[in-house]
């Protein structure tokens, strides 16, 4: 994995100020050095500048970027962040057409494919990616993002310059770019956050290239095109065939994503998703006489502090132990102390360039940092719940009937600390309602669906477009912050396309949550793990953590230079701090309750101060 950045302007000759623009490209690389600590490179031409930082996973010696290739006297160039999982097939096709390759990297395959087929070649790619290709024949730069949005890509247009970067921080290196926040951005933070509307960069004038889209900049201007989207079709397979097809897709995706020139590992929670990924990886490595390394996360003292709830009914550790014993993996527990988790709250903001999922993110930052000491590539179980229907809001009647985002049904918890006049300015209810309705309206419909099945599609679509994207962002930023590449086999577009059209009664056959996925795991895992009730990513229940949060919030409120103070009501804050914490009523997802609200406020304050964000009317 890597970091990419650059700029393009058909009406400007960057070479007339070579030193200045080369320096900008180098600073873009410095800003994203954590994404690619192994190598870096830049290229400057008349109308385009490209920058790349590299985490070497495939073709360790000859895969440097930017990578260029010449055809008919014209030199094409690519900067690429991602991994391609059908490289061999594509290289074979291109070789049959007469192309020769100087490297074994997937980067060169993509570049050659673009030279042979043009932008349509992106439809042949199976992988996770964000890349930019400069085509000298048409003097155009084209940006591409993978179908599920696993790899990030942000952009802005300033004075005719298209500027792009894997992470938002890379954009602000460009002269004239200032971090500014308007009413929409404030609503994204307080009304929607820690999610964000897809395509929105939160900062004024910062946009995100949507998953499954490409952007072309040329002398004719800038255009954005969708090259992939979900399509609703009648599902004609019976249950047995559906299980067989899904199993083959899942197993093929996991096996493909094991390809690496450095050793892989897996994150193992003890839930069915990560356990199934771990089982397949362990089985494949065992065939080669190799042992899989696995990592599980926990909190120091969690055995004493854990409090079961409807959202988090059990600890993960006993189930992870079962899987390790069953598969005989080389296992390590990476424990995070309360102090480390608290200290990483600010690092989480540094990784995201935005406030994020509070300690849910800060603990993952810590875990990824520790795991990166051993491995550079990890496979995870992300996305299975969104695709196979594992979350509570797929099943609960009140969520099914709610005319809003099912993971944030009650906005009152978001308002509890905010000033009344600021709430009036935000218009939080209207903003959320409009955003929700706009997303629901995009749901791919099928005329044959019953009203109930149509609603299932809406909830599934919201999860794929919103909740899944939030968790993919979280995994990308926290892993890449430590130079660790995280792969997500369930986010294979073939799985998503097929399972999208599987009827709900098959996904939950005999009333079993995620029955379809569990059926795929038969024979690979013990039943005690395979049919375990869902429990989300762990969080701490240590009261000392709340003490640290409360003290920091009081310090913020006492400091007149704290930027977040202007949004908070001091009396409301003190009442909140003096009230018992409620761990059982999340205000976002399944994990973010009372303590996480305090942590989120701390993150917002740090973010605004660090970036010196200007507020716009």
Burial string for 274-288 (b: 16+ CB within 10 Å, else e) reads bbbbbbbbbebbeee
Give helix 87-96 / helix 106-117 axis angle, nearest 10°: 50
Q: Quickly count: other Cβ atoms within 10 Å of residue 339's Cβ.
A: 12
Spatial distance between the Cα atoms of 244 and 293, rounded to a whole number of angstroms = 28
Q: Where are the beta strands (DSSP E) in 322-469?
A: 330-336, 377-379
Residue 387: is it exposed, middle or buried by C-beta count within 10 angstroms (0-12/13-18/19+)? buried
HSE, side-chain direction, 13 A CA sphere, residue 131: 31
281 tagged catalytic: no
Q: Each residue of 5-20: b (16+ CB within 10 Å) or e?
A: bbbbbbebebeeeeee
Q: How far apart are the first and last CA of the chain?
A: 39
Token representation of residue 490: 């369930």
> Which tokens sit at 348?
């989480």
- Residue 511's Cβ-count burial label (10 Å; 0-12, 13-18, 19+) is exposed
Three-state SS at 289: coil
Spot the catalytic one: 2, 148, 265, 336: 2
Q: Name the E strands within 365-513.
A: 377-379, 485-487
Question: Residue 486 and residue 429: Cα distance in Å, rounded?
Answer: 36
Query: Cα 19–20–22 angle (5° rounding)?
Result: 65
Token pair for 32:
């994203």
564 to 303, 416, 576, 581, 613: CA distances (angstroms): 35, 14, 16, 22, 11
State the Cα–Cα distance between residues 228 and 146, nearest whole angstrom. 9
Question: CB neighbours (10 Å) of residue 182?
Answer: 16
Indicate the SS3 state at residue 257: coil
DSSP state of 443: S
Q: What is the Cα Rg of the chain in Å?
A: 24
349 vs 523: CA distance, rounded Å: 42
Cβ atoms of 292 and 330 within 8 Å: the answer is: yes
Q: Check residue 382 and report its DSSP letter.
A: T
Answer yes or no: are the C-beta atoms of 436 and 409 closer than 8 Å. Answer: no
DSSP 533: P
Output the six-digit token pair for 526: 């013990």
- Residues recognised as catalytic: 2
């Amino acid at each position: 994995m890597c970091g990419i950045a650059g700029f393009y302007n058909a009406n400007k000759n960057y070479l007339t100020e070579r030193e200045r623009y080369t320096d900008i490209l180098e600073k873009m690389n410095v800003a994203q050095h954590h994404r690619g600590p192994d190598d870096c490179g830049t290229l400057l031409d008349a109308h385009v500048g490209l920058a790349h930082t590299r985490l070497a996973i495939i073709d360790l010696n000859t895969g440097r970027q930017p990578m260029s290739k010449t055809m008919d006297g014209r030199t094409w160039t690519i900067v690429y962040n991602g991994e391609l999982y059908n490289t061999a097939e594509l290289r074979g096709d291109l070789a049959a057409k007469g192309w020769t390759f100087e490297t074994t990297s997937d980067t060169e395959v993509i570049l050659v494919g673009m030279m042979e087929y043009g932008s349509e070649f992106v439809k042949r790619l199976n992988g996770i990616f964000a890349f930019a290709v400069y085509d000298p024949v048409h003097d155009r730069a084209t940006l591409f993002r993978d179908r599920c949005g696993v790899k990030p890509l942000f952009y802005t247009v300033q004075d005719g310059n298209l500027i792009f970067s894997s992470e938002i921080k890379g954009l602000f290196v460009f002269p004239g770019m200032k971090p500014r926040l308007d009413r929409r951005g404030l609503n994204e933070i307080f009304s929607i956050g820690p999610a964000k509307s897809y395509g929105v960069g939160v900062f004024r004038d910062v946009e995100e290239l949507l998953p499954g889209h490409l952007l072309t900049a040329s002398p004719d201007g800038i255009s954005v095109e969708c090259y992939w989207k979900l399509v609703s079709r009648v599902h004609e397979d019976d249950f047995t065939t559906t299980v067989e097809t899904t199993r083959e897709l899942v197993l093929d995706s996991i096996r493909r994503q094991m390809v690496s020139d450095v050793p892989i590992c897996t994150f193992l929670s003890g839930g069915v998703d990560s356990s199934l990924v771990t089982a397949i990886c362990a089985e494949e490595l065992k065939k080669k006489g190799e042992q899989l390394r696995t990592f599980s996360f926990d909190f120091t003292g969690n055995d004493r502090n854990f409090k079961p709830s409807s959202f988090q009914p059990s600890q993960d550790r006993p189930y992870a132990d079962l899987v390790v014993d069953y598969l005989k993996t080389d296992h390590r527990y990476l424990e995070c102390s309360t102090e480390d988790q608290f200290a990483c709250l600010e690092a989480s903001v540094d990784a995201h360039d935005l406030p994020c999922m509070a300690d849910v993110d800060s603990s993952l930052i810590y875990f990824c940092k520790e795991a990166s000491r051993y491995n550079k590539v990890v496979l995870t179980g992300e996305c299975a719940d969104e695709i196979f229907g594992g979350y509570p809001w797929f099943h609960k009647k009140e969520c099914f009937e709610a005319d809003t985002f099912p993971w944030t049904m009650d906005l009152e918890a978001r308002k509890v600390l905010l000033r009344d006049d600021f709430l009036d300015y935000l218009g939080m209810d209207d903003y959320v309602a409009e955003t929700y309705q706009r997303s629901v309206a995009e749901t791919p419909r099928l005329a044959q669906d019953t009203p109930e099945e149509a609603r299932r599609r809406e909830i599934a679509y919201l999860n794929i477009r919103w909740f899944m994207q939030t968790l993919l962002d979280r995994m990308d930023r926290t892993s890449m912050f430590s130079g660790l590449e995280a792969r997500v086999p369930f986010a294979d577009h073939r799985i998503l396309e097929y399972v999208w059209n599987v009827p709900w009664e098959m996904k939950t056959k005999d009333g079993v949550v995620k029955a379809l996925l569990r059926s795929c795991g038969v024979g690979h895992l013990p039943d005690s793990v395979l049919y375990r009730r869902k429990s989300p990513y762990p969080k701490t229940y240590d009261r000392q953590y709340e003490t640290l949060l409360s003290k920091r919030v009081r310090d913020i409120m006492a400091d007149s230079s704290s930027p977040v103070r202007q949004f908070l009501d001091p009396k409301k804050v003190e009442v909140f701090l003096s009230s018992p914490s409620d761990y059982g009523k999340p205000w976002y997802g399944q994990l973010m309750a009372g303590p996480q609200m305090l942590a989120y406020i701390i993150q917002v304050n740090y973010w605004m101060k660090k970036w010196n964000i200007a507020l716009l009317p």
